[in-house]
Structure 1
């Protein structure tokens, strides 16, 4: 999974840009989806959902998240009063009418990032707590080889100095453990989806 320059995200005509001018771009990554075409973004999202979330991640990733949720419980980072709609307004409050009427995508209790919108070529989810307000944006882009590929951008608005310190502290864990595991999971989901279709 290559990490990409910020411009590979900012130069795309994504709808999310109009909603997040007060956020900064933290990470931009690409995920290989060999053989993918321009209309396969919904299929990729469904493959990712079918592959499962945190419960199917490797033990080191599950351990890191368990530690994070435990710290959050002890220190009050994740109280409802610190979340979307409480400490910060949801990005859904900023949606123009056409996006407000678009499908949101499914939500459930096991998915901390909640849907903002879901279109044919991009979608966005958000999460807020005492540390940050963050957005995960997924987009579908034609790669250098001609196939389409999944791109992920992580946008953040830290909650003051504490939020900035938090983001700096977790960066090594994201780059060394979480993102590599996410890459293996999402790319495998695409390969297995193609394999299942071929059978």
Structure 2
């Protein structure tokens, strides 16, 4: 009997995210940056909280266009701190602005998508975990990517956040093998 990954529970927005988005290989550089930013905002919170606020985040950060966000300053931070539709953390908001600048430097040098996907040689790592308890919170690879992101100027991208990001954007397929999405995501690779 097929068994969906237990982490998504039964909340419809979470189930839909699991079934249609999580783990599918994402190659669009702007979408990759958006997911990394949102994973950073999730630090200390549940992903469900962020998922429910995702449209608000997209509006507040003007579609997550790094070229726009990189130009923001203190007035924009102050504006975002009054936006009850997002997580109002000065540190995370300021990090997002800095991360936009770091993103642009990487994008100009080699492309953000190439920067990330080269860690897995362009193809998702295919894990075959039988239970959620087997899925790690971080790996040596997520530690390496985290260090490289930090070296490039990113913040809120520790190894655990980075691994959650890798799972979300399909750099690794961590759907358990009994989950119907495991084989579907594997075929997308």
TM-score (structure 2 length as normaliser): 0.27
Structure 1 or 2: more strand by fraction = 1
Larger helix share, 1 or 2: 2
Greater relative contact order, per chain length (Cα 8 Å cut-off, separation 6+): 2
